[in-house]
Structure 1
Amino acid sequence: MRAVRDPVPLLQALIRCRSVTPADDGAMAVLETALAALGFTCARLRFGEVENLFARRGTGSPHLCFAGHTDVVPAGDAAQWLADPFSGEIRDGLVMGRGATDMKGGIAAWIAAIASLPPDLPGTLSLLITGDEEGPALDGTVKVLDWMAAHGHTPDMCVVGEPTGKAVLGDTIKIGRRGSLNAMIVVHGVQGHSAYPQRADNPVHRLIRVLGRLTAAPLDAGSQWFEPSTLQVTSIDVGNAATNVIPASAMARLNIRFNDLHSSASLAARIRDALEQEGARHELEVNCSGESFLTQPGSFVEVLARATREATGVEPTLDTGGGTSDARFITHFCPVAELGAVGTTMHKVNEATPVEELHRLRDLYARVIHSLQHMESVS
């Protein structure tokens, strides 16, 4: 148990697992060994080609869950790294490697924090670790949560160990996330010679007018906890190799990051309305990877913020910015918030986390666990 109290060796062992999504390469086995030594009962859950892990210790209330992922994005050109991206090498006080901050470092720090606390903490501790966060997120947290609910493991609250720090450890706690919607619009026209436009119907012009309607005004000015929603045109494609041909169709892709003033259904209706105003034949495909959500500040968030302040001396900002995370799935089961390392190097070449910061993250998590496990009620 003593060896687990230092998160550095555990992080190094995890980095050495080349778990580029959806590969596992032994990462779950590393965690299972560490958690079993701390008295956790572990269940390896494979859905599709994705390895997941659920570990639990205790039976009482409150039930605090930690959620994280061992899968990582590709390292890219290894020659651009100062060290092998899957070596976990320590250089100039930094643990280097893919996943050092996002988010194998957070997992290692949480487990080390548990090891540093008395084993007779009240309530229940569990970990939900997936190998499908950086990928499609279809065979990971979503399915593990359903399995947990079916087997009586639904937690009272959950901390997700994503790297939330913007400048210093503890400066940000994420209590929600914007939703993300992707749309593909195809507008159909009539192909023809560009010298005789009266004999054709140019879908590019129609598509441009549709996009103009959608981008003419901001979606909103933001809400109490969220910044303004944004609609971005990410691609316009005609696939026309000729300079004198009016094409038969034109395609555009949109990405909308939306706050709690919208839903994917209301935004899809907005796009359909713009298309109907144009009156063109069209196709519309909409996919939402997650609705916006908010964990309203209550006892859970307040205790989490106080523990962060006491451990770091920093007043945390409650935030909902950034992209999506698996918290968008957990929010349907219990209050959830995200707290983790400083994320300035995540997904970059030479991703790294300072050894000293990793130890401070362990101490922060230890304070968080102790404080949350002694809560009388969760809201």
Structure 2
Amino acid sequence: MKFLRFSFVFVLFISLLAGLCSAAVETPTPLLPKEFAGWRLVKSSPVNSNPMAADAANAAVLKEYGFTDVTIATYSRDDGRQVTVKAARFQDASGAFGAYTFYRTANMHSEEIGDQGSSLGARVLFFHGKILADAIFTRLSGMSAAELRELSDTLPKALGSESKLPDLVGYLPKQSYVKDSAKYIVGPLALQQTAAVGAQLVDFTKGAEVVLGDYKISNNTGKLILIGYPTAQIATSELKRIEQAEQAHQLQEDLLAKRRTGRMLVLVLGDIGADAAKELASAVNYDTDVTWNQNTYQNPKDNVGRVVLGGIILAAVIMGMLLVSSIAFGGFRVAVKRLLPGKVFDRPEQVEIIGLHLSDKGPEGQNRA
């Protein structure tokens, strides 16, 4: 009876513990704080993993960037002002940056908020780590930017590889570049909605990532397209495919210049002229990221034969040490017994020998005799 009662209590305890653990796992981490810089939370929506809750019109684009969840909160101050903040979380900082460039428009002004920020009127868009925030004020003040910077500091941090931003943007030439025109794209839907570029130029199934940048040269505009692939071999084959499609008049665009550098393809469109386009394309040069701790030579210690020989030598050394220690222990014992007989080893009081005396005749044997 006691065993059954104990079993029932144990099973009930395990069930409750499992329920609490599952609830803790299923509850998403809050994205926005309850208060910041004098703003107090009025209402907020539950964290939602459906991209439709973030942007119904561009839900598929958000999924391309690695959208995970979103929450919307409204804050107020004592002076009656309110701000509505929509915070969307992505799998990594690259996704948040890409979504930021997707929503950033040409007429926005740069702001020093988070990792990057832009504003237009009462709307402020910024991203920090893998969080993209879109804030809309009822009325701005001179401290609104500083208040959002404090909000940015409270957002969940991106750690490790999740915090790495795409390096492809850094290859955009600075000369003649139209400020804040860069777009980072990792899927065909974002490419289709961001720029009038045909799908024939990019194969996203091979791990492509794209950066677009606008340039103004002699009052003419052009667009620079950088397409990054995982390896230089893939980039080479993709360039050949584009050249074949161009010769067959299958491209929607007229390419003014095209070349490959490392794992990147460089394409130039627009009306800046062929010479300016070639000069712009030649300004992009891929540079591999090599660190000092990267092994670029043949180390003799990596030779398999040396490893085997080292193992044999180690085994021989260990056997030699065992042999020497055995001889030393035995020799020490013999020497002590000769110098101090019966003093250290084999003392009489420590030696007890049980003798059976099987050859002796007992009393019974004597009587029989």
TM-score, structure 2 as length reference: 0.22
Looking at both structures, which has the greater relative contact order when contacts are Cα pairs under 8 Å and sequence separation is at least 6?
Answer: 1
Going by fraction, where is helix more abundant, 1 or 2? 2
Tell me which structure has the larger Cα radius of gyration.
Answer: 2
